[in-house]
Structure 1
Amino acid sequence: MNSATQWFTGRNRRGIWIVVLVVVVGVVVGVAAIVWTDRSPRQSQQATPVLGGRFRISPQLDSAPAPRWTVRASDLSDEPGAVLLSAPHSLGRYYGYGGLMDAGTLIVAATAVPGSATGEAGLPVGPVRMHGIDPDTGKPRWTTDVGEVDGCGEIVLEGLLTCRGTHRVLIVDSATGRVLTDHTTDFEVMDIAVRDGVVSVAGRTADWQTAVITRGTVADIAATWRKTYPTPIPGEPVTPRIDAPDYFREGRDGKVRVFDLRSGELLFTAPVGHVFDGGLIATQVIDRSGSAGTVALLGRDGHRITEVANASFILEWYPAATATPLPILTGESAYDRTSGRVLWTNALIGLDDLTGRKGAIVGVVRDTVIVRSLDGATLSGLDLTDGHRIWQQPSPFANTSQFTRYEGITDASHLILTDGVTVQAIDGADGSPVWSMPLPPSGDSRLRSAVHAMGGRMVTTTAQEFTGYAAD
């Protein structure tokens, strides 16, 4: 029970309510000062539609969902010995487990037949097949042979799978499986992005001393321009990466060069650690101890907007479903995603331990930011608009500790978390537990079973199979 709750429920309750009534009659502002501690978040969460978010499913799960289908490699491929590859990252080798890609209206899996061991990590695989899976039935809608590829982009934008080989750019329509581009390059491909119909490709020459960036279309990846950028430090390899739609960058530590992705012109050089989708850039100078060190938010031209107080490592990789633009939540404050203005401050969004400060956020459900305590024993809900705490509940997981790691999804009403053993759904409005279910065993001692938002549905993954769920 927090101090505000005790204030309303203590033995002086009657006198306090008399004072409140006087305030209601005399000073309307006084009402605003106290009503937020007893607001009904459930009502505000149901009032506005969700505009955006990540790791979000479409159906609302008010009770434990039921498994509807399970897919294994043999359900997708008729090749003897075919296995599920760990999409999207590891399509050139098999490491003993599979993964999926979320393509919005479809789920994409990849299969191949492993070859013999070569002494390197993982088994090399033969030609890859991609499969577009119906999220409601688990049945493949299309299968496409794509040959040898190394991996694909983490996020599928504009319905396009952006995949690469060492000297190959492959773009596939995720709705139909049709190959739109299969382009051989004279440079090593490292990153591909498609935004607003524009294709950007980053790579490097064979000696790793010169970055190559192209900008064009699906039909011609260099239709707009192709430019090269020699390493600023002779002998040091270049490692270009794309931060679409605004930037690409190259370099490491304190000397990261940030370029305009549209023109290819250099903007500035700084110790860049993260680029936000609103256009802001974070610099990070890591402390010698390995802690987060100092973090600052920069504008497009590199000018300093603000320094992040009590800095933490920046990781925006939690489920979110909000009706308003999600602010940057880092350090101990919320910052406007486009201007960098401080919106509110609450130190509960970060955790301090022996390794330094890290993020405490496990999810954002409409207008509630849900954070964990350092020992994992409690979860708290903070108001997204002003940062004050609106609820606190014990963790629904057993045997929690500071090392407990949560992964999850959201249906815009509940935060659905897993610790690798069970799934627990909590109401985002008040933190109360709603339902729980066990996860299927991972099938591999190296792996945790996981819960994902795929094709707008809840999907669990183990080493050898994927299971789709529907509202019961």
Structure 2
Amino acid sequence: MPRTDGPGAEFRDPRAGTEFDTGEPGFVDAGATLVTVVGVPDDDMYLRDPVLTGFDARTGARRWQTPAPNLRGCGPTAVDGQIVCFGHDKALIAFDVATGQLTRTPTDWYPFALATLDDRLYVAEGDVESDDVRVHSGTLADPDAYWSQAFGMGTSWEDLPFDALDVSHGQGIFTLGADIAGFDLANGKQTWSADLDGCSDAAGTSGTLVVHTRSGCGGDRITGSALLDRTGHAIATTDSAVAQSLSIDRPTDETIPVLLGDSAYNRRTGSLMWRSPDLISVPAQTSPDNPVSANGTAAAILGDLALLRDLDAHTISGLDLRTGHRLWRADDNRFGTIQAWDGDTVVLSDGTGLWAVDPRNGAIAWDIPFLAVNVDRTALTGSGRLAAHGNGRYTYASARAMIGLRPLER
């Protein structure tokens, strides 16, 4: 079991960089190697002496570590065997997954966001406060080899989102402040744009779709949602004051609907398929002068099923996404975080351990208390991140330790 070295050292997620301390443990799953940051938190703001470290994904043995100061962010996946990052200068900084060797690729840009997908790199750069920004697609050796595209959008540096670039749902989504644009991943061509008024937000989903949730600021309620196709056209809308927030969004294919409010809409046409009251939770209202808002219950889309969690009723349930019928319901008093799905079971965690649920019937597949793994109560505490590698293998990282899990031999 890998442990951090030195007093006060902790694991951190490389995607957040090393310039500031986000407090979130994690790693980049690069196949045979898990790449993480090890540093010492300093007043909950900075990381002292951060190093990028590679661990063997099967044994937990440390393969390498390389000093990694002042990184502003890193890609979520490896590209051509490299973890690609950016800092404050005009260069892309890469770490070889196998050896940790550092490579700097000079550019003429000041990057502020980076995304990776398969063998491609996507870099956003420019002056966000002057609406003078560009996105480039290429490789580490030639970062604009495929295309470059200018976007007339921006925000303040203080409001720059950490996830300005999203390329994970079949199209590119570029968000800066109240501006959002879609672009073709193959050629960079902008396909649509929209304004996120108030405190609205937008999130991609499979099938090159975007869910746009409308809301005001200052505590205003959600006023509705829209499902946008790859041209930015709203193919479905709802005035529901409920939004669904998904930890995992992995539908089987385009026949699985998108959930808006209490309803399911066809992913291709936007037509209404079914409604279910199970998609909404209404807390008890304490008084007429203190109204409460309803909440969405959908927590994860797992193939052709939805995992629902009603935090007010303390229940967890499974919903058939093709019909809207509830399959099962069980008490849920652990309030765990949904971590990963391996195609069969979904894994959750809390401060006491990890457990897996079969989303088709609600049965507990396995339950692992942290104290059964390590009697040191400080080793596995707080929030963490888990990755499913397939064949029943998982890796879990907390701030002070990482553990690898595999099926018991029979």
Deviation at 1:250, TM superposition (A): 4.1
Deviation at 1:95, TM superposition (A): 6.4
Secondary structure of the structure 2 residue equivalent to 1:348: helix
Deviation at 1:287, TM superposition (A): 3.9
- With over 3 angstroms needed to count, the CA separation of the structure-2 counterparts of 1:227 and 1:318, relative to structure 1, is closer
The question of 1:87 aligning with 2:24 is answered no
Counterpart Cα distance in 2 of 1:333 and 1:156: 37
**Larger helix percent:** 1
1:108 alignment partner in structure 2: 35
1:328 alignment partner in structure 2: 258
- 1:155-304 matches, cutoff 5 A: 160-167=82-89, 168-174=91-97, 177=100, 182-195=104-117, 197-205=119-127, 209-231=131-153, 241-244=164-167, 246-253=171-178, 255-260=179-184, 262-265=187-190, 267-271=192-196, 273-287=202-216, 289-304=219-234
**Larger strand percent:** 2
Contact 1:91 1:150 in 2 (8 A): yes
- With over 3 angstroms needed to count, the CA separation of the structure-2 counterparts of 1:331 and 1:392, relative to structure 1, is same
Contact 2:12 2:25 in 1 (8 A): yes
Contact 1:188 1:204 in 2 (8 A): yes
Counterpart Cα distance in 1 of 2:37 and 2:122: 24
Contact 2:11 2:399 in 1 (8 A): no
- With over 3 angstroms needed to count, the CA separation of the structure-2 counterparts of 1:344 and 1:166, relative to structure 1, is farther
Contact 2:354 2:370 in 1 (8 A): yes
2:362 alignment partner in structure 1: 431
Counterpart Cα distance in 2 of 1:250 and 1:467: 35
Which amino acid in the other structure matches residue 407 of structure 1? Answer: I
TM-score (norm 1): 0.68
- With over 3 angstroms needed to count, the CA separation of the structure-2 counterparts of 1:96 and 1:256, relative to structure 1, is closer
Q: Deviations over 1:229-250 (max 9, x none)?
A: 4557999987693232523434
- With over 3 angstroms needed to count, the CA separation of the structure-2 counterparts of 1:227 and 1:426, relative to structure 1, is closer
Counterpart Cα distance in 1 of 2:385 and 2:44: 26
Secondary structure of the structure 1 residue equivalent to 2:354: strand
The question of 1:412 aligning with 2:336 is answered no
Deviation at 1:388, TM superposition (A): 0.5
Unaligned runs of 5+ in 2: 284-290
Which amino acid in the other structure matches residue 34 of structure 2? Answer: I
Counterpart Cα distance in 1 of 2:213 and 2:259: 15
1:137 alignment partner in structure 2: 59
- Greater Rg by CA: 1
Structure with the larger RCO, 1 or 2 (CA within 8 Å, 6+ apart): 1
Counterpart Cα distance in 2 of 1:86 and 1:432: 33
Deviation at 1:197, TM superposition (A): 3.4
- With over 3 angstroms needed to count, the CA separation of the structure-2 counterparts of 1:413 and 1:266, relative to structure 1, is closer
1:24 alignment partner in structure 2: none
TM-score (norm 2): 0.77
Deviation at 1:392, TM superposition (A): 1.9
Match of residue 382, structure 1, among 309, 319, 329: 319
- With over 3 angstroms needed to count, the CA separation of the structure-2 counterparts of 1:112 and 1:444, relative to structure 1, is closer
Match of residue 305, structure 2, among 351, 363, 368: 368
1:12 alignment partner in structure 2: none
Deviation at 1:419, TM superposition (A): 3.2
- With over 3 angstroms needed to count, the CA separation of the structure-2 counterparts of 1:418 and 1:127, relative to structure 1, is closer
1:128 alignment partner in structure 2: 51
1:465 alignment partner in structure 2: 401
Secondary structure of the structure 2 residue equivalent to 1:356: coil
Counterpart Cα distance in 2 of 1:265 and 1:335: 26
Deviation at 1:148, TM superposition (A): 4.1
Contact 1:439 1:449 in 2 (8 A): no
Note the aligned Cα RMSD (angstroms). 3.8
Deviation at 1:227, TM superposition (A): 4.5
Unaligned runs of 5+ in 1: 1-69, 75-79, 399-403
2:288 alignment partner in structure 1: none
Which amino acid in the other structure matches residue 330 of structure 2? Answer: Q
